[in-house]
Amino acid sequence: MPLCKFILIFLFMFTNSNLFSFEEGTATNNGVSIYYRDYGPIDAEPILLVQGLGGQLINWPQHLIQFLIDNNFRPIVYDNRDTGLSSRIQSDKFDDDKRTNTIVKSYIRYYLRLPIESEYTIDDMADDAISVLDELNIENAHILGISMGGMIAQIIASNYSERTKTFTLIASTASTPSPFNGPTRKVRKLLMERTNNPNSSVDERVNRTRRIFSEIGYQGIDLNTDEFYNDISSSIERGGKDDTGFGRQLTAILGSENRLDKVKAIKAQTLIIHGKEDPLIRVKNAYKTNKLIDNSKLIIISDMRHLIEIPVFDQFKNELLKHLNS
């Protein structure tokens, strides 16, 4: 794998007033470029964080990154293919004149439980993650995945067991999504809206994100703030105007093969964290995954939905640390 040019960047993070340094670079998997950020330090325990649907490396909560660094871990984050600064996968299925037909066809097959064609697979995305570890010459690491990232992380933990120190699964599922275990109707409608409108203005995308977060996030957090607007608009600017990658990632999820046998084969010490009120991936999925993985512990957070805001994170951070140090 070719050596990428590193960019050393110093970033002030105001949590605890620490000055963090990190390196950014690009790994390559079969011609797909994967952009990553390595917080270091190089002699700390590496932990690879695998992001969810449409999420970028900058979208990981600062309180999680801070917590890991404070406890002598080396967080490594990256943009999945079709997000952020990683490669966009070229496909005409999501062009303006074909997108609606692609989406409708995919959802009809989804409801009928029929196979769905996708430009790439969850397995391909797991190989992307491994390419980041290869680029950094990391033999093995703790693996943490959230939502779609949890699906990818399951493949990593199964296919690359020798490279998985521990496995943490947050708000995810081992099953292929279906109308019986997937999003509520309201959340599904919001996801469809984003998929079908990839060229929306910044304001439209911020407002749509606010509506999605109000459904899948912790209740009581004010999303009508300048900080929220600036964070989301900065993320949109970094990822570019073309949001068709969201639809391609979604079809990769819907078209993914059943992972149950692979999940059963996971040997790493596993911590499963899930919100009791998750409207995107229902909590029954967590119980099922817990039964599939012999060496697993399940934590259900009563007031957690799908995200890991500070009030939620504070409820499981000690268990997470205990797990990572096991």
Tell me the pLDDT tens digit for each residue of 266-280. Answer: 999 999 999 999 999
Q: Copy the structure tokens of residue 227.
A: 């900080």
The vertex-220 CA angle with 219 and 226, nearest 5°, equals 115
Tell me the pLDDT tens digit for each residue of 171-207. Answer: 999 987 666 777 888 998 888 888 878 888 999 999 9
Q: Sort strands 73-78 and 141-146 into parallel, antiparallel or unpaired.
A: unpaired
Coil vs helix vs strand at 136: coil
Rounded CA separation 273/319 (Å): 10
Rounded CA separation 33/81 (Å): 8
Rounded CA separation 29/135 (Å): 10
Q: Copy the structure tokens of residue 25.
A: 């670079």
Domains of the chain as residue ranges with CATH? 7-324 (3.40.50.1820)
Rounded CA separation 106/128 (Å): 24
User: Residue 39: what residue type?
Assistant: Y
- Check residues 116 and 318 and name the one with the higher pLDDT: 318
- Could you tell me which residues come within 8 angstroms of residue 101 by beta carbon, excluding any fewer than 6 positions away? none
Average pLDDT, the chain: 89
